[in-house]
Amino acid sequence: MTLTGDTPTGGTLTGGTLTGGTLTGGTLTGEILTGRYRVGQMIGGGGMGTVYAAQDERLAREVALKVMHPALLATPAARVRFEREAHTLSALTSPHTVTVFDVGTVEVGGLPGVGFIVMELLRGESLAQFLARGAVPATEAAEVLSAVADSLGEAHAQGIIHRDLKPDNILFARAHDGRHRVKVIDFGIARVSGRPKTVQGGILGTPHYMAPEQCADQGDAQVDARTDVYAMGIVLYEMLTRRRPFEAPQALAIIVKQLTAEPPPMAGLGSDPFLRAVEPVVLRALAKAPADRYPTMAALEDAFHDALGMVTQSVDFDPTEHLTVRFIPEIVAAGVPDAEDAATVAFRRPPPTDDALHAPTIVEPLPRVPTMPSAAALRSTPGPLPPPPTALPVRAPRRDLGLDLRTITLALLALGVLITGVAIGLAIGG
Residue 392 makes CB contacts below 8 A (sequence gap 6+) with 319, 320, 365, 366, 367, 368
- Residue (of 112, 50, 111) closest to 82 by Cα position: 50
Alpha helices, H only, 37-135: 76-90, 127-131
- The structural domain count of the chain equals 2
- For residue 398, tell me if it sits in a domain: no
Which amino acid appears at position 107 of this protein?
Answer: E
Judged against a pLDDT cut of 70, whether residue 192 lies above it is answered with: no
Within 10 Å of residue 221's Cβ, how many Cβ atoms?
Answer: 8
Read off the pLDDT band of 21 (50, 70, 90). Answer: very low
Annotation says 164 is catalytic? yes
Which has the higher per-residue pLDDT, 294 or 378? 294
Share of the chain above pLDDT 90, in %: 40
> SS3 string of 312-325?
HCCCCCCHHHCEEE
pLDDT computed for residue 357 by the predictor: 31
- Residue (of 193, 186, 151) closest to 166 by Cα position: 186
> SS3 string of 339-353?
CCCHHHCCCCCCCCC
- For residue 427, tell me if it sits in a domain: no
Q: Which of 358, 379, 400 is the last residue of a domain?
A: 379
- For residue 426, tell me if it sits in a domain: no
Q: Is 240 found in the same domain as 310?
A: yes
What is the rounded (10 degree) CA torsion for 275, 281, 286, 290?
180
* CA angle, 46 then 50 then 53, to 5°: 130
Q: Span 384-408, mean pLDDT?
A: 42
- For residue 394, tell me if it sits in a domain: no
Q: Is 277 found in the same domain as 138?
A: yes
The CATH code of the domain that includes 60 is: 3.30.200.20
pLDDT computed for residue 350 by the predictor: 35
- Residue (of 145, 123, 72) closest to 304 by Cα position: 145
Q: Which of 379, 398, 413 is the last residue of a domain?
A: 379
Contact 180, 331 (CB under 8 A): yes
Q: Is 213 found in the same domain as 315?
A: yes
Q: Is 216 found in the same domain as 331?
A: yes
Q: The domain containing residue 347 runs over which residues?
A: 124-379
Residue 311 makes CB contacts below 8 A (sequence gap 6+) with 273, 274, 277, 317
* Strand partners of residue 204: 4
pLDDT computed for residue 199 by the predictor: 47
pLDDT computed for residue 79 by the predictor: 79
Which of 98-107, 153-162, 303-312, 416-425 is predicted with the least confidence, judged by mean pLDDT?
416-425
Q: Is 65 found in the same domain as 172?
A: no
Global pTM? 0.69
- Residue (of 200, 202, 198) closest to 76 by Cα position: 198
Q: How far is CA 414 from the centre of its chain?
A: 62
Q: How far is CA 184 from the centre of its chain?
A: 8
The CATH code of the domain that includes 265 is: 1.10.510.10
Maximum average pLDDT range among 176-180, 213-217, 219-223: 213-217
Q: Is 161 found in the same domain as 30?
A: no
Read off the pLDDT band of 38 (50, 70, 90). Answer: very high
The enclosing H or E element of 154 equals helix 138-157
- For residue 389, tell me if it sits in a domain: no
Q: Is 375 found in the same domain as 297?
A: yes
Q: Which of 120, 135, 164 is the last residue of a domain?
A: 120
Read off the pLDDT band of 361 (50, 70, 90). Answer: very low
Read off the pLDDT band of 409 (50, 70, 90). Answer: low
pLDDT computed for residue 273 by the predictor: 85
pLDDT computed for residue 238 by the predictor: 96
- For residue 404, tell me if it sits in a domain: no
Mean pLDDT, the chain, as a whole number?
A: 73
Q: Is 133 found in the same domain as 98?
A: no
Maximum average pLDDT range among 35-44, 324-333, 338-347: 35-44
Q: Is 194 found in the same domain as 134?
A: yes
End-to-end CA distance of the chain: 106
- For residue 386, tell me if it sits in a domain: no
Q: Is 183 found in the same domain as 70?
A: no
Annotated catalytic residue: which of 150, 164, 168, 186?
A: 164
Judged against a pLDDT cut of 60, whether residue 121 lies above it is answered with: yes
Q: Is 258 found in the same domain as 132?
A: yes
Q: Is 193 found in the same domain as 85?
A: no
Share of the chain above pLDDT 70, in %: 61
* Strand partners of residue 39: 54
- For residue 174, tell me if it sits in a domain: yes
